[in-house]
Structure 1
Amino acid sequence: MPLLVSHIAAVTGAGSGIGRAIAAGYAREGARVVLLDINEKAAAEAAQEVRSAGGAADSFALDVTDRAACVALAKTIADTVGPVSILVNNAGINRRNAFTSDPDAVIKDWEDIMAINLTGTFNVTHAFIESLRATRGRIVNIGSIQSFVHVRTPNSAAYTASKHGVLGFTKALAAELGKHGVRVNAIGPGFIETPLNAQVRANNPDLVKIFLDHTPLGRAGKPEDIVGPAIFLASDLSAFVTGSIVMADGGYRTV
Structure 2
Amino acid sequence: MAGLLEGHIAAVTGGGSGIGQGICQAYAREGARVVVLDVNLDGAHETVGLIKAAGGKASAVRLDVTDRQACRDIAATIARDGNISILVNNAGINRRNPITGDAAAVAKDWEDILSINLDGVFNVTHAFLDQLRATRGRIVNIGSIQSFVHVSWPNSAAYTTSKHGVLGFTRALAAELGKDGVRVNAIGPGLIETRINAEARAKNPDMVANVMRHTPLNRAGKPEDIAGPAVFLASDMSSYVTGCIIMADGGFRTV
Q: TM-score, normalised by structure 1?
A: 0.98
- Summarize deviations over 1:207-232 as a string: whole Å, max 9, x none: 11111111111110001100110000
Question: Whole-Å Cα distance in 2 between the matches of residues 4 and 218 of structure 1?
Answer: 32
| Deviation for aligned residue 1:7 | 0.2
Alignment correspondent of 2:24: 23
Question: Whole-Å Cα distance in 1 between the matches of residues 110 and 172 of structure 2?
Answer: 23
Question: Whole-Å Cα distance in 1 between the matches of residues 32 and 151 of structure 2?
Answer: 35
| Deviation for aligned residue 1:196 | 2.5
Deviates more, 1:229-238 or 1:147-156: 147-156
Alignment correspondent of 2:238: 238
User: What residue identity is the alignment partner of 2:88?
Assistant: V
Question: Whole-Å Cα distance in 1 between the matches of residues 35 and 6 of structure 2?
Answer: 14
| Deviation for aligned residue 1:199 | 1.1
Question: Whole-Å Cα distance in 1 between the matches of residues 154 and 145 of structure 2?
Answer: 15
Matched, 1:120 2:105: no
| 1:195 match: secondary structure | coil
Alignment correspondent of 1:140: 140
| 2:58 match: secondary structure | strand
Alignment correspondent of 1:36: 37
| 1:84 match: secondary structure | coil
| Deviation for aligned residue 1:16 | 0.2
Q: Are 1:167 and 1:186, in contact at CA under 8 Å, matched by a contact in 2? A: yes
| 1:152 match: secondary structure | coil
| 2:141 match: secondary structure | strand
Alignment correspondent of 2:183: 183
- Summarize deviations over 1:106-160 as a string: whole Å, max 9, x none: 1111100000000000000000000000000000000001111113232210000
Q: Are 2:152 and 2:207, in contact at CA under 8 Å, matched by a contact in 1? A: no
User: What residue identity is the alignment partner of 2:204?
Assistant: N
Where do 4+ consecutive residues of structure 1 move more than 3 Å? Answer: none
Alignment correspondent of 1:7: 8
| Deviation for aligned residue 1:195 | 2.2
Matched, 1:199 2:199: yes
User: What residue identity is the alignment partner of 1:29?
Assistant: E
User: What residue identity is the alignment partner of 2:111?
Assistant: E
Q: TM-score, normalised by structure 2?
A: 0.98
Q: Which runs of 5+ in 1 are unaligned?
A: none
Alignment correspondent of 2:160: 160
Matched, 1:56 2:23: no
User: What residue identity is the alignment partner of 2:32?
Assistant: A
Question: Whole-Å Cα distance in 2 between the matches of residues 168 and 84 of structure 1?
Answer: 23
Question: Whole-Å Cα distance in 2 between the matches of residues 241 and 210 of structure 1?
Answer: 33
Q: Which runs of 5+ in 2 are unaligned?
A: none
Question: Whole-Å Cα distance in 2 between the matches of residues 122 and 153 of structure 1?
Answer: 25
Question: Whole-Å Cα distance in 2 between the matches of residues 224 and 128 of structure 1?
Answer: 26
Q: Are 1:93 and 1:196, in contact at CA under 8 Å, matched by a contact in 2? A: no
How much identity, in percent, do the aligned residues show?
70
| 1:217 match: secondary structure | coil
| Deviation for aligned residue 1:178 | 0.3
Q: Are 1:109 and 1:156, in contact at CA under 8 Å, matched by a contact in 2? A: no
- Summarize deviations over 1:159-214 as a string: whole Å, max 9, x none: 00000000000000000000000000000000001122111112221111111111
Alignment correspondent of 2:227: 227
